[in-house]
Amino acid sequence: MQTRMLGNNHFLSSAIGFGCMGLNHHRGVVKSAKEVKAILDQALDAGYTMFDTAEVYGPYTNEELVGQSLKDKRNQLQIATKGGFQIDGLKNWPDSRPETLRKSLEGSLRRLQTETIDLYYIHRVDPHVPIEEVAFTMQQFKKEGKIKHWGLSEANGETIRRAHNIEPLTAIQSEYSIWWRDLEKEIFPILEELSIGLVAYSPLGRGYLSGKVTAASIATKNDNRKELPRFTKEALEANQKLLDLLTIIAQEKAASLAQIAIAWILAQKPWIIPIPGTTNNERVQENAQAATISFTAEELSKLNQALAAITIVGDRYPQSEKERTGK
């Protein structure tokens, strides 16, 4: 697979990373450890080198699965994980106090069976701890060799600037896709100015942009999409016009809808790495092949004009969730 550089800190990764959350968290039937290892082995063979997880996925069990599955091939890949939550059972809230971050990091290192984390994110910004203090904590972790790079997830522009001024950020991880483009207004210019990369989670709109999601397919115990405003029956039907557009482009490119959605992200900026996740062996290869699809300037302009004419129905998170975590 082609490679891309995140920021100016020499973080070279596969152009497409692998989002591990759905292996056992919020995406339906949980895979066995043997099945997870088979999927991740296949992803490595397909050229993915960055694998993204978080302590809160499970909680904790996602990191354990990733660590156990990849420990024998650790020198072939990069592990990205996220901390900065106080976790109480299935409840969690942002907590970036130095002692909490150290506890989070030490736990992640243990579960991932590694001596260092390649890219460590603050999962959500804690409004009660100055971001400068967080940056100094990350600086110390780097000096200790426990992390190589650091980043923020879902941070606003001011926070990014303040953090970067203390300890340079390698990447920002935020949701970005053909149906969620808010980052382009405020965040993109700042990332470009400061030479910070973007890791785009949910590049397939939590599966919707694959064209395979229905209200029935997400009505399972371990699938949080049924709780999201954008996945109500009414929203799914209203947003069909977006899938209709992607279908036309996919036919022109002899590609799948998912491949077009990923390729579109890659075409926006050279410093963006999308991290689609899947538990389907065929999708592992399909998503990787998106890196081979390109658009001419005219094709991209035409597609973006068509997208601008489509109004997406439904917010990405319930209001209660946004208030709780600041998402």
For strands 272-274 and 85-88, give the pairing. unpaired
User: Coil, helix or strand for 186?
Assistant: helix
105 CB-near residues (< 8 Å, 6+ apart) = 83, 117, 120, 141, 146, 147
Smallest CA-to-CA distance from 258 within 287, 294, 227, 226 is with 287
Query: Rounded to an integer, what distance in angstroms lies between the CA atom of residue 265 and that of residue 166?
Result: 30
State the burial class of residue 72 (Cβ atoms within 10 Å of its Cβ: 0-12, 13-18, 19+): exposed
Of the residues 48, 57, 121, 201, only one is catalytic, namely: 57
At 147, the amino acid letter reads I
Do residues 176 and 265 touch, judged by C-beta distance below 8 A? Answer: yes
Query: Rounded to an integer, what distance in angstroms lies between the CA atom of residue 39 and that of residue 281?
Result: 6
Do residues 82 and 125 touch, judged by C-beta distance below 8 A? Answer: no
C-alpha distances in Å from residue 229, one per residue of 218, 296, 312: 13, 34, 11
Query: Rounded to an integer, what distance in angstroms lies between the CA atom of residue 36 and that of residue 173?
Result: 23
Look up 57 and say whether it is catalytic.
Answer: yes
Smallest CA-to-CA distance from 92 within 295, 321, 252 is with 321
Cα torsion through 233, 235, 241, 246, rounded to 10: -90
Enzyme catalytic residues: 57
